[in-house]
Amino acid sequence: MSKDQMGNQLESCIVCEEKKPEGIHLYTSFICHECEAEMVRTKTDEPRYSYFIDKLKRVKTPPLYS
């Protein structure tokens, strides 16, 4: 992981593929705040909706070790 000028950790967003300092973690994947907000606002009949679905298919549930 790289850091920005303020020393914050930068992670690569699975949607926009840009390195951002803030966002959410979904299992082992990272989604930046901007993409998260856009996904929430997107209606299911919009063309961008299927783009988000394709990107979210990259999220994999990590194996559970017992």
CA neighbours closer than 13 Å in the CB half-sphere of residue 20: 18
Q: Do the beta carbons of residue 31 and residue 38 sit within 8 Å?
A: no
Look at residue 38 in the predicted model and tell me its pLDDT. Answer: 97
> Residue 49 — pLDDT band, cuts 50, 70, 90?
very high
Q: Which tops the pLDDT comparison, 8 or 16? A: 16
Domains of the chain by residue range = 2-56
Look at residue 64 in the predicted model and tell me its pLDDT. Answer: 72
Q: Which tops the pLDDT comparison, 41 or 8? A: 41
- What's the order of all strands across the beta sheet hosting 9-12? 2-3, 9-12, 19-20
Asked if pLDDT for residue 2 goes beyond 70, the answer is no
Look at residue 18 in the predicted model and tell me its pLDDT. Answer: 96
